[in-house]
């Protein structure tokens, strides 16, 4: 019913910048919350940043001041601007959306396929 397509991952040097994007398509009535999670090998998936329909943002302490999340509601897209990247930011980044398919309060979660971000010199 819904697909989340991510782009922008890759290899970058420490201190560099990278911009990730995620576009949601399909049977979407409203997106309540959308954001990014990441998972490094041997570690649990963790929240990076999220943003609500009203624009309220939430960031992991480890990325505050370096990452910025934004949305384009008309296009059902979310972006993550990552600056001052560190080797510890290396992980697979996943897009996640909490959305409804029709009018009402029934929300469902969808995940993107993940995109690799590697920070190394």
Both tokens of 70, joined, read 């934004």
Measured CA to CA, the distance from residue 71 to residue 53 in angstroms comes to: 9
What proportion of the chain, given as a percentage, has pLDDT over 90?
A: 95
Q: Indicate whether 118 pLDDT > 90.
A: yes
CA–CA distance, 87 with 113 (Å, rounded to integer):
22
Q: What average pLDDT does range 100-117 have in this prediction? A: 96
Selection from 81, 113, 111, 115 nearest residue 96 by Cα: 111
- The C-alpha atoms of residue 45 and residue 112 are separated, in whole angstroms, by 13
pLDDT at residue 60 is higher than 80: yes
Q: What distance in Å separates the CA atoms of residue 117 and residue 21, rounded to the nearest whole number?
A: 13
DSSP three-state, residue 103: coil
pLDDT at 73: 72
| Distance set, CA 2 to CA 53, 57, 105, 109 (Å) | 18, 23, 17, 10
d(CA 38, CA 42): 12
- Where residue 74 falls among pLDDT bands split at 50, 70, 90? confident
């Amino acid at each position: 019913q819904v697909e989340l397509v991510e782009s922008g991952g890759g290899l970058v040097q420490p201190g560099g910048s990278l911009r990730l994007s995620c576009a949601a398509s399909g049977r979407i009535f409203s997106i309540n919350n959308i954001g990014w999670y990441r998972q490094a090998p041997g570690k649990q998936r963790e929240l990076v940043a999220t943003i609500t329909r009203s624009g309220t943002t939430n960031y992991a302490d480890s990325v505050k001041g370096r990452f910025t999340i934004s949305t384009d509601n008309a296009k059902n897209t979310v972006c993550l601007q990552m600056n001052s990247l560190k080797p510890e930011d290396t992980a697979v980044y996943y897009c996640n959306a909490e959305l409804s398919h029709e009018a009402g309060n029934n929300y469902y979660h969808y995940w993107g396929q993940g995109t690799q971000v590697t920070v190394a010199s």
